[in-house]
Structure formats: structure tokens, C-alpha cells
Structure 1
């Protein structure tokens, strides 16, 4: 009996010692240490991937340059590239990317950017497949710069990038109507302007031409992921019919989003008809309440988006002129049709270049 009691005492002592060690870990903020180390490891992995990507882009740049140089100086024909591809694949069978088609893409990649000292270093900061999409689908250097910067900033996947180009995000972003110049600080103004488009295409929504605001909202809720993708890819969904209680009255915001880069709440008001000036006053009310009751201390001022079926640009301009809250007015369409005339309405190239400088 005494031996059993002794063993129990030892066991109890071991358990107490283990609990003490756990308590010591908790006392020493072990959980915080673990989180910090895991974050550091992930950061190191990400930096390593970025380094590998930069080296690969630099390699493809050099190969493209060598092909161009040999063709110019030694009059190489197309057959040489085919031969080069076969020899490289034989020498490096475990490395993909040396097909004849890809070698020609390297040549095009180099030719596209070799005379642009601004873009040449920037192309190393996004993936090869992203670069190919931009080279093949964009028509001038300003448009390419826009998509390079936005891909780098917002982490667009290849499919998101293709979607943005096909829906003319470049043109629609540069033509957006906001009052951000007057209402946002210089630090985030350009970033905010580039986060809002003039028009959104919701061709993924299963809606008839005639629909109610509630039907529009429910259709969006059923397709939240493609909706956020069309909005730009950096929005998080916080809720629909977001309730605000003010002066013992209830008010509801159609959609409440959060922009991860701008670090601000974004209220979306859905309208199925044309824009009316009084919508701005209602949105100002929502934004004031969000800033006072919901916004965290380290977040930027809340932003409003009034999303209408149609708008008159002059009326929007007047309605926003005296507003003291950051608001943008955009339109939406259900059917995907691309208005080519947008290109003729773009700001002057120097204005576009200045705006893009704000995207880091």
C-alpha cells in the first residue's frame, strides 16, 4: 500500500511539474512567441519565392535579349529558335519553360520593355504568366504600367488579371467619379481613386433586365466571390443590410465591405435606376455613423460607393462637389458589353502617369 501511495505522490508531482511548465510558458507569452516565429517563417518563405521569381524573370529577359541580338547581328532565322528549344530541353529535362513558343514569348517580352526604363525593373516584381497576359493583351505602356502596378499591389491571380483587362478596368478606373481629391489625405488618395471603377460588369448575376434593389442584393449575396473579384479583389465582405442604430432609429446599409489595402470600411448603396443627387446626403449620413460607431482607431475614414444602373456625369459632379465624406458614384451592367469609346475619354497621358505613381 505504501508503495502505491508513493507512486501516486510521484505521479501527482510529475503532473504538477508539467502544469507548472505550461504555466511558465503562458507566463512567458509563449503563444505570442509562436505566432511571431510562424509569421517570420512565412515571411522568409515569401521572400524566397520573390527572389526565385526575380531570378527567373531576369533569365527570361536575358534569353529574349540574346535572341534579339543574334537575329539583328547574325540574321538568325526562325528555325534557330526551334533548334535552341530542343537543345535546351535535352540539356535541362527537369526544367520547364524552354519550349519554342516560350522562347518566342521571351523575345517579345524583352522587345516590349527594353526601351522603357521605368517598366523594365517593375516586370520582375510580378509572375511570368502575369507578364505574358499583360504583354499580349495591353496596347500601350501606360496600360501595361497600370496592370503591373495593380497586380503587384493587390496580388491579383492570373485569372483575376485577365478578367480585369477584359472588362477594361484601366479605362473604367481612370474615368471614375469621386470626391477623393477633397476628402482623403494625400497618403491614400491615389490608392483610393484606383480602387474604384466607373462601371462594374455583373454578368455572373442571374437577373432579368428588370429587377428590384432587393433582387439585386440577393443575387450578389448568392455570388459574393465573383462580386468581390469584380470590385477589385481586395475587398472583404462584412455583411448585408448592416444595421446602424442612431437616435433610437434603425438604418441599414445595403452592403458593408472592407478594403484590406486602404484599411477602411466601404459602404455600398445599391440603386436600380439613375443616380439622384439626394443619394449623396444619405451616404454621408451612413459614413458619419460608421466613422463614429464602427471604425477602429487605426483605420482610415470610411468610403462610400453609390452603385446605380445609370448616371449623368455632370449631375454626379455637382452632387459630389460640396460633400465632405469620401464618396464615389459608379454604374453597373448585367450584360458584358465593352464600350470601346472609353479610350477616347481617358485623361492625358501625363495625368495618368502621375496618378499611377501613387500606387506602390
Structure 2
């Protein structure tokens, strides 16, 4: 069968599938469009990857489709390559032993052969797909994500778990393609902190909860703290005050280490209710979260009693300090060490958003890593000399 006849058969098969899919998609069912693209992607994959069609096949098919279906959009050579990649990215969903959980495959076995036998072969998008053997597959979310978003996702991470993550976020936060691509570029999946927190339980808006989770890391390097001075102290409360003063004296460094959009409100911030005074260690405002962030510094291992103390601070902040337009305050216990699983367990039932993070000073790092870090004073002097 010569190339021209092969391409004509392909055009007829794809055109029939397009018309069938458009009829169903007009009903507003996103899964039908995905089914169409998955089916066409499979068809194209089977005939281009195995050398059945020659060079330039997709360009020729795309041009002929536009001639036969005037005004057709979404079936350029590039877009058909996206359909092929869509199928190949999720080809584990393609099963002949169908479990009827979704509609997404090619029914006519003749199409699945290496060659088209005649022009009557059709791509039938109404077949079944088996996903029952794929652990944690986000079925509902998968079919809610538009194809353009799917294309962005499969162009990024190759890990299935990462793709699941971006699919879920797209649906949960109604992400635009631009925002989704930005998150993929920033590698949001791998940048997820392990900080124990209860944000998803205590922050009602899923988008705001996600922002809070992403804002904080599980561990911070505070290399500007004078560890030797702390070590000479005997009382824990005095030691913690030294940490606090070191942070206050280096507040710019601390903010740059801690995250973005933080504004320093004060340390030992005075709170009072029913004649009882309280003094949280550090108080910030975060513009992105639109919330105050209260940080309580602790030396040594995390203790559950710290959460009760922080909870009290957050109650007063929300009742007496928070502005009407601001979100509820967030509290962070910042200690030297913590059993993360235990901290996650301890924080879960509190009704205020709280998390537990740890910090390390420069002296806590292994010697070889300390030596690998640049001398900041020498770096600043070098930059200054270059400017002069």
C-alpha cells in the first residue's frame, strides 16, 4: 500500500473519530475529548513508531484534515505529536481486558495492527480502559484536567507520582496553563517540605492551605548564630534569648533564609488578655499568605508542650491583633531537632494552623561541608572591590 493511500486511510479514520468526539464533547464532557486524543495518540504511535508511515506523515495528515474539515482547530502536526505523547505517557491505561472505569481506547482491533487494511477502519473512542491495577491513580482528577494541561504535565516530570501531584493541583486550585508550567519549572513536586503541620485541616481554602505548606521548609540553616556563646550558657531560656537576639540582629539574613514576602513585626511582641501577658519570640507578616506568622524558638528536641504555648499565642493574635481582612495567624515551632512523625501526630488535632521545623547552625554541619561553603566576608569584599 503506497504512502498516499495510507495517509488517506489515516485521514478518514481520524476524521471520523474527530466528528464523533466533537459531537460528544459538545455536551461539555471533558473526558470525551481526552478519550478522542488518547485514541488518536495510540493510532499515531502505532503507525509512526514502528516505521509503518514515512517521514512527514503527521504533517501530510494534518494538512489533509484541514482541507476536509474546514475550520478544524487543534490538529496541527505539533498537536498530533502531543496526542501521541499523551498516549505514550499513559499507555499503561490501555488494556484489552477492559475494566469499565473510563472510556479511553481503540475498540477496532484492525486499527491496532501494524497496517491499515482498508479505508473503512475507524478509530472508535468508545472502548474501556483498565486502571484498577494502578495504585493511587487519580481517576476523577485525571478526567477533569484539560488536554493542554495534560500536555504541559507530560512535557515535564517523568515520575508517575509527580504527574499525579500536578494533576491533583490543577484540579484543586483551578490552575491556568501558565501557572502550572511555572510550578513544574520550579519543581514544586520535589520542593515539597516535610515540615509536620496541620494546615490542610485548619485552613479551609485548599489554595491557601497549599500556599502555607509550600511556604515553609522542614529545616533551616541559621549560620549567623553564635553557637559558642549559646553553648556557654546554662539556662535554656537564656540560650533561646541568645538565638532570638542573633536572629533579630541578622533579620535580613533570617528572612532571606526563611522564605519570601516576610515582613518583620517584632520580637518579644507584647500580648495581653484578661491581665495575663504573653511574649512570643518572633512575629512576622507574610504578604502572600496574608497572615501573621508567629515563630517560637526552642533549643533541643521538640516537645508537645511547645504546641500548647504556641496555640495560646495564636488565639490572642487572632482575637486581639489580626485585621478583619487578614487570614488566621500561623504558628511555627522552630527547634534544634524533632521526630517528624511524632510532631505530625502531635499537631494534627489543634484547631489553629501550626507546624514544626528545625534549624541548624553552621557548626552543626559536617566539617567537609563547612569548608565547601564560601567565606561570606571575602565574597562581599570581592564584590565591593569589583564595583570600585
Q: Mark the structure with the bigger radius of gyration.
A: 2
TM-score, normalisation: structure 1: 0.50
Query: Structure 2-normalised TM-score?
Result: 0.47
Which structure ranks higher in relative contact order (CA pairs < 8 Å, sequence separation ≥ 6)? Answer: 1
